[in-house]
Amino acid sequence: MVGMRWSVVDSPIGDLTLAVDETGLCRLHFGRTDRPLETDSLLTETQEQLKAYFAGELQEFTVPLSVRGGSEFERAVWAEIAKIPYGEMITYGAIATALGDPGAARAVGTACNHNPIPVIVPCHRVVGAGGKMVGFGGGIDRKRKLLELEARVALARAWS
């Protein structure tokens, strides 16, 4: 994509490829990219915030986002996902209900899978009915690790 700059950050869930444009972070992919890697202040800030998140020191990302694409429904789902507090989970059905269509849980799942900025737009916090661990573009193992990290940090903060 024209105008995008790419970088890779190492994390406990594997390499994360980041892409920024003139406005903000627009992509986060699991794994490495074959694109030329660059550095700039926004990429550096995103890398630093991700490292702090994985160290349990950051609960809310502040890097500017540049959400490209997505249908109106997908963008609405991503906006709902962005509201989920650190260390908490919500079901696909609850998001569908919040968007006014209680029967759209599967569509919410599809929108989560299309999230261009996972981890930062925390689709890992969305779970199946009864807290069932289902679906995640990065794989269930990564989802579990992200939720476990947040649960440990939230519990430590609550007890300190």
Q: How many CA atoms lie within 13 A of 4 on its CB side?
A: 19
List of residues 6+ apart from 33 with CB closer than 8 A: 6, 8, 17
Annotate 13-26 with DSSP letters as a single string. T--EEEEE-SSSEE
Paired strand residues for 65: 25
Q: Catalytic residue numbers? A: 123
* Burial grade of 41 (CB within 10 A; 0-12, 13-18, 19 or more): exposed
At residue 75, φ and ψ (nearest 5 deg) are -65, -35
Strands 5-9 and 25-30: unpaired
CA 111 – CA 118 distance, rounded (Å): 11
